[in-house]
Amino acid sequence: MTSPIEDIFEKIFGYVPPKRGTAFERLAAIASYMLEKKGQVEHDARVRGKFSETLYQIDVLHSAEGGTKMGEAKDYSEQHEKVGRGDLQKLSGALPDLDSINEGIFFSATGFTGPAKKYAAVASNLTGGKPISLYELRPSTKLDEKGFLKTIVVNMRAWLPLPSQAKWSACLTESGEKALKALLKDGEKSRTFNVTIDGFWNHAGSKVLPLDLTSCGLVDTTTNKQCACFLLKNHFIKVEGALVEIRGLEYEIPFNCHEWEMKITDDSEQRFVMLDGKGKVLMFFPDKQLRNFSFDESGVLAPQSHKSK
């Protein structure tokens, strides 16, 4: 017979730890790490007492730059009971004996009784200045998720050019027109020149300016067209090797407007919520996020950033 927490743990991770209570203890270890997102977290650690020399079993041992915390985790979801003052007294009794521990944390799957909360509030007076923080860690409910953002929709819009339908118009200077007429053969009254314009030249025949359509003009959203005009003093184009002076270049390019929807959705099937001792929601843990964590053989928690190394 498994507890409700163990059933959810199996759905998320695909297995149930053989020892009762381990599933919730490991969830508590993940939650402890997520509170600070730094340090090393161990599950089922052993620390020897300074005075009694007793070897204490610790559900969650979280070591970081700010100090070391010992965490106790209790899953009373089968009994439908809250964690009472007696459970906290066991934790506070161990804290003075553990010189390397700076504070205690207690995770409950079912919440805490009133006397337990009162005891935690004054625990530092009984443990030599080491506080005890309370956290409720359990499956989330609709009431918890009220106001929780589950879906973000972004309506995207882009204008894509249709260069094959573009219209171009070039204006030559008088000297440019003379240069073109000079290319006519004797007796010719008209002639067609096929010219590819990818830039502009100076009078010495050196390329001085590339053709960059992206830097000029914006799409007019009322006509779905982009129009721009280059005023090009002392610039030339090449026609059959001859330099032809140009006064300016104007273009009009139609655009098609494409619209699509980008949706970011929290579609997790299982979601845990963590609340502080006063019942305030601190954070949610969707199943996808929880699957980013694992434990090595010695019980050390491996977040995703560590697993990828």
CA dist., res. 304 & res. 309, Å (int): 9
255 plus 275 within the same structural domain:
no
253 plus 171 within the same structural domain:
yes
* pLDDT (0 to 100) of residue 104: 97
11 plus 125 within the same structural domain:
yes
Q: Is the pLDDT of residue 91 over 80?
A: yes
* pLDDT (0 to 100) of residue 6: 94
98 plus 54 within the same structural domain:
yes
CA dist., res. 155 & res. 180, Å (int): 51
Q: Which of 227, 229, 228, 235 is nearest to 173 (CA)?
A: 235
CA dist., res. 166 & res. 240, Å (int): 24
132 plus 279 within the same structural domain:
yes
208 plus 275 within the same structural domain:
no
Mean pLDDT, the chain, whole residue set: 88
Are 62 and 33 a contacting pair, CB within 8 Å? yes
Secondary structure of 156-225 in the HEC alphabet? EEEEEECHHHCEEEEEECHHHHHHHHCCCCCCCCCCCCCCCCCEEECCCCCEEEECCHHHCCCEECCCCE
* pLDDT (0 to 100) of residue 140: 87
User: 49-58, 151-160, 171-180, 208-217 — which is least confidently predicted?
Assistant: 208-217
CA dist., res. 303 & res. 178, Å (int): 75
**pTM of the entire predicted model:** 0.64
211 plus 141 within the same structural domain:
no
- Sorting pLDDT into bands at 50, 70 and 90, what band is 307? very low
24 plus 133 within the same structural domain:
yes
DSSP labels, 132-145: EEEEEEEE--TTTT
193 plus 135 within the same structural domain:
no
Of residues 123 and 167, which shows the higher confidence score?
123
Give residue-wise pLDDT tens across range 101-119: 999 999 999 999 999 999 9
Q: Provide the CATH number for the domain around residue 125.
A: 3.40.1350.10
- Sorting pLDDT into bands at 50, 70 and 90, what band is 172? very high
3-class SS at 268?
coil
Give the number of other CB atoms < 10 A from CB of residue 293.
21
* pLDDT (0 to 100) of residue 107: 98
Give residue-wise pLDDT tens across range 190-240: 888 888 888 889 989 998 877 665 555 567 777 888 887 778 889 999 999
Give residue 213's domain range.
156-261
CA dist., res. 122 & res. 89, Å (int): 11
Give residue-wise pLDDT tens across range 238-262: 999 899 999 988 888 899 888 888 8
CA dist., res. 287 & res. 267, Å (int): 9
**What mean pLDDT comes out for the span 156-172?**
86
* pLDDT (0 to 100) of residue 158: 84
The total domain count for the chain is 2
* pLDDT (0 to 100) of residue 309: 38
216 plus 160 within the same structural domain:
yes
Of residues 160 and 77, which shows the higher confidence score?
77
CA dist., res. 106 & res. 32, Å (int): 10
11 plus 116 within the same structural domain:
yes
12 plus 120 within the same structural domain:
yes
